[in-house]
Chain A
Amino acid sequence: RKEVEQDPGPFNVPEGATVAFNCTYSNSASQSFFWYRQDCRKEPKLLMSVYSSGNEDGRFTAQLNRASQYISLLIRDSKLSDSATYLCVSIRDSSYKLIFGSGTRLLVRP
Chain B
Amino acid sequence: GAGVSQSPSNKVTEKGKDVELRCDPISGHTALYWYRQRLGQGLEFLIYFQGNSAPDKSGLPSDRFSAERTGESVSTLTIQRTQQEDSAVYLCASSQQMGATGELFFGEGSRLTVL
**What is the interface of chain A, defined by CB distance below 8 A to chain B?**
4, 32-34, 42-46, 49, 87, 89, 91, 95-103
Contacts and interface: CB of A to CB of B under 8 A. Distances in A.
Given A96-B50, A97-B56, A100-B35, A46 B42 contact: no
**Counting chain A CB atoms within 10 Å of each CB, which of B42, B56, B91, B98 scores highest?**
B42
A97 B48 contact: yes
A102 B36 CA distance: 12
Interface of B: 31, 33, 35, 41-45, 48, 50, 56, 91, 98-104, 106-109
Contacts of A101: 42
A12 B115 CA distance: 35
Interface of A is mostly: strand
B102 A32 contact: yes
Nearest to A44: B106
Nearest to B103: A46
Nearest to A90: B102
A49 B102 CA distance: 7
A101 B66 CA distance: 24
